[in-house]
Chains A and B, each alone.
Chain A
Amino acid sequence: MTSKLKGWPTRVVVTLLYLFLLAPILMVVVISFDTQSTMSFPPQGFTFQWYERLAQNAEFIQGFQVSAVVGAGVALLALLIGVPVAVALTRHDFRFREAMSGFFLSPLMVPAIVLGLALLLVLAPLKITGTYGGLIVAHLAITVPYVVRTTSMSLMTMNRSCEEAARTLGASPWRTFTRVTLPLIAPGVLAGGVIAFLISFDEAVISLFVVGPQATTLPVEIFHYVESRTDPQIAALSVVLIAISVLFMVIIERAAGLKKVLR
């Protein structure tokens, strides 16, 4: 039955759909090797020069470093906040549980531009806009919810009697968590961390509000760059970023299975 449904018309449609979705990415890859000095199609020749220039572009390299540091910090802190919150939400019953659950998921429902403005209003008086700290705090607002979600999912699907067994065998609540719960939910936690990093690394809208001269992230640098110039260096940079994203996705897939995490 299903094999009939997967006959050639379906296959053609699915293939076309994928091509349509992937076309822009393929185009970017092609353009990044083009000899023309503005991004246009079809390509006129083949060169590595845009990659070479990219490697010498101080702003991009600086931005990359800022984004990597911020992303790592965000991933770490999002885990340190998100995992305990997920444990509280799934393992304990308390008066404001529902409210807390809503609170931790709400940033995902607010448009990024509104959130960016709100964060600016909060962070500016604290004088931490334009710093690593400010960026990290801003990004935590949108990444903690993801960590809470992936971790909660793992906590809800794991066999709870394993925790109870550990307790009867003499493990204190804390050791039960570190020796049994954490190893069993590790794939979900790791996935949450990687997603947090990627979101932080990719985030432009909120960052635009809170970046400053000392700390400007890569997406913001790109944004500024394309405002004035349109050479294929951007395409080359995009290819590098795509490669990094794919690498991370492979890590998640290996650790937990993408489908499970994105459910």
Chain B
Amino acid sequence: MSFLQLDDIVKEYPGTERPSVADFTLGIDQGEFVSLLGPSGCGKTTTLRMIAGLIEATSGRIHLDGKELTRTPVHQRGMGLVFQNYALFPHLNVARNVAFGLEMRRTSKAEARRRVEEALDLVRLGHLSGRRIKQLSGGQQQRVALARALVIEPSVLLLDEPLSNLDAKLRDTMREEIRSIQRKLGITTVFVTHDQDEALAVSDRIVVMSEGVIEQVGTPEQIYEHPANRFVANFIGRANLFDAEITHTANGVAELDVAGLGQLRAVDDHGAKGPATVLVRPHRMQLSKAAAGDAHGTVETVVYVGDSIEYGVRVGDATVSVQSVAGAAERLERGASVRLSWQAEDALVLT
């Protein structure tokens, strides 16, 4: 059993046709940084709030450090939660906000003062401890919320889209900061986000969710390079998905007959014959000029984005995205006839 263990968690809100979270089973190790990633409405917040105890699971069990806490009320769970809207107490100043959790624990005045100071220093806000909440910027409020959650030395830190209200640049700095604080304290963290870049950048492991169920759990590399299914492939990064027929598999490599592209090969962990879907990332596609009779398709769009050129190539009635490094190859014009291919190790057969 892991440090934080969720088993078969289900949440059904009354009056909804499908459960908001279903059969959610996940183990999180001590000190691990795990992201819940998925589109809006997939049940990330619901899951996080069940861990915090703010909502009760319809069924299933939660264990923390071997102890069951499914029925433990919120205020006895000792978890730190950072809300998307920060939820700072407007009637208390910065220091009193941070001290709130310690007051509830009846920590002595002197120790509370020391720990509040430490926590504020940790988020680099020591100089603002006397400020009113209204007088803080969004980023500063975010830091206060983080300090307030951390000062109680929670067993688990829960973050619900903590960066979504910040502008793009601040978002990147804050996410690095959160990650480095998390590493420094070694605190087990569950981070909710719908931003795949954010999840890829900070997580030890990512849990990809859709419509209340887990689609895949894995390291950022696993999720990106070996997506478990079409949904994950499409949701994480950009993806070309091809229909193909597997004719032969040997040593984890499948021989394929790909619709519109002919004979190609791809990595295959399944070893099953028959129809399959093949994933190839745009930057792994190879594009070459061809004589009209020999071509797979024609270039439909050409977008120059600085580092690279993005082509949209029409093959039959589908459009394939190809990203090629600018300058590395001959630049193709719209309407050019082209052949498409890939290296076997750059393509993956999905179930």
* Partner pick for B87 among A159, A175, A176, CB 8 A cutoff: A159
Q: Which residues of A contact B87 (CB under 8 A)?
A: 159, 161-162, 164-165
- Would B101 and A169 count as touching, CB distance under 8 A? yes
Instruction: Check if B104 is an interface residue, CB within 8 A of chain A.
Output: yes
**Interface mask (A179-215 → B, CB under 8 Å = 1, otherwise 0):** 1100110000000000000000000000000000000
- The distance in angstroms between the C-alpha atoms of A168 and B80, with both chains bound, is 7
Q: A167-B75, A168-B81, A172-B75 are in contact. Are A184 and B101 (CB under 8 A)?
A: no
**Interface mask (B28-58 → A, CB under 8 Å = 1, otherwise 0):** 0000000000000000000000001110000
Instruction: Check if B260 is an interface residue, CB within 8 A of chain A.
Output: no
Instruction: Check if A54 is an interface residue, CB within 8 A of chain B.
Output: no
- Would A165 and B83 count as touching, CB distance under 8 A? yes
Q: Which residues of B contact A169 (CB under 8 A)?
A: 75, 100-101, 104, 148-149, 152
Q: How far is the CB of A165 from chain B (nearest CB, A)?
A: 4
In this complex, what residue of A is CB-closest to B77?
Answer: A168
Majority secondary structure of chain B interface residues (helix, strand, loop or mixed): loop
Q: Which of B52, B74, B83, B152 has the most CB of A within 10 A?
A: B74
Q: A172-B75, A184-B90 are in contact. Are A166 and B83 (CB under 8 A)?
A: no
Q: How far is the CB of A160 from chain B (nearest CB, A)?
A: 9
Instruction: Check if B85 is an interface residue, CB within 8 A of chain A.
Output: yes
- Would B104 and A161 count as touching, CB distance under 8 A? no
- The distance in angstroms between the C-alpha atoms of A159 and B86, with both chains bound, is 10
Q: Which of A159, A165, A179, A184 has the most CB of B within 10 A?
A: A165
- Would A161 and B75 count as touching, CB distance under 8 A? no
Q: Which residues of A contact B100 (CB under 8 A)?
A: 166, 169, 171, 179
- The distance in angstroms between the C-alpha atoms of A248 and B84, with both chains bound, is 40
- Would B91 and A184 count as touching, CB distance under 8 A? yes
- The distance in angstroms between the C-alpha atoms of A167 and B76, with both chains bound, is 9
Q: A171-B104, A184-B90 are in contact. Are A164 and B152 (CB under 8 A)?
A: no
- Would B101 and A164 count as touching, CB distance under 8 A? no
Number of interface residues of B (CB under 8 A): 25
**Interface mask (B82-108 → A, CB under 8 Å = 1, otherwise 0):** 010101111100000000110011000
- Would B81 and A170 count as touching, CB distance under 8 A? no
Q: How far is the CB of A232 from chain B (nearest CB, A)?
A: 48
Instruction: Check if B78 is an interface residue, CB within 8 A of chain A.
Output: yes
- The distance in angstroms between the C-alpha atoms of A58 and B99, with both chains bound, is 56
- The distance in angstroms between the C-alpha atoms of A180 and B75, with both chains bound, is 14
In this complex, what residue of A is CB-closest to B74?
Answer: A167
- The distance in angstroms between the C-alpha atoms of A263 and B104, with both chains bound, is 36
Q: Which residues of A contact B91 (CB under 8 A)?
A: 183-184
- The distance in angstroms between the C-alpha atoms of A161 and B85, with both chains bound, is 8
Interface positions, chain B 97-151, Cβ under 8 Å from A, are 100-101, 104-105, 148-149
In this complex, what residue of A is CB-closest to B84?
Answer: A161
In this complex, what residue of A is CB-closest to B49?
Answer: A164
Instruction: Check if B348 is an interface residue, CB within 8 A of chain A.
Output: no
**Interface mask (A14-41 → B, CB under 8 Å = 1, otherwise 0):** 0000000000000000000000000000
Q: Which residues of A contact B77 (CB under 8 A)?
A: 168
In this complex, what residue of A is CB-closest to B105?
Answer: A170
* Partner pick for A168 among B75, B85, B89, CB 8 A cutoff: B75
- Would B90 and A168 count as touching, CB distance under 8 A? no
Instruction: Check if B280 is an interface residue, CB within 8 A of chain A.
Output: no
Q: A159-B87, A162-B89, A184-B91 are in contact. Are A168 and B54 (CB under 8 A)?
A: yes
In this complex, what residue of A is CB-closest to B85?
Answer: A161
18 A-B Cβ contacts within 8 A? A159-B85, A162-B87, A164-B83, A165-B87, A165-B88, A169-B75, A169-B101, A169-B149, A169-B152, A170-B104, A171-B75, A171-B100, A172-B75, A175-B104, A176-B75, A180-B89, A183-B91, A184-B90
Query: Other CB < 8 Å A-B pairs besides A165-B148, A166-B89, A168-B77, 16 of them?
Result: A159-B90, A161-B83, A164-B74, A164-B87, A165-B83, A165-B89, A167-B54, A168-B53, A169-B100, A169-B101, A169-B148, A170-B78, A170-B101, A170-B152, A175-B104, A184-B90
Residues of B within 8 A of A (CB): 52-54, 74-81, 83, 85, 87-91, 100-101, 104-105, 148-149, 152
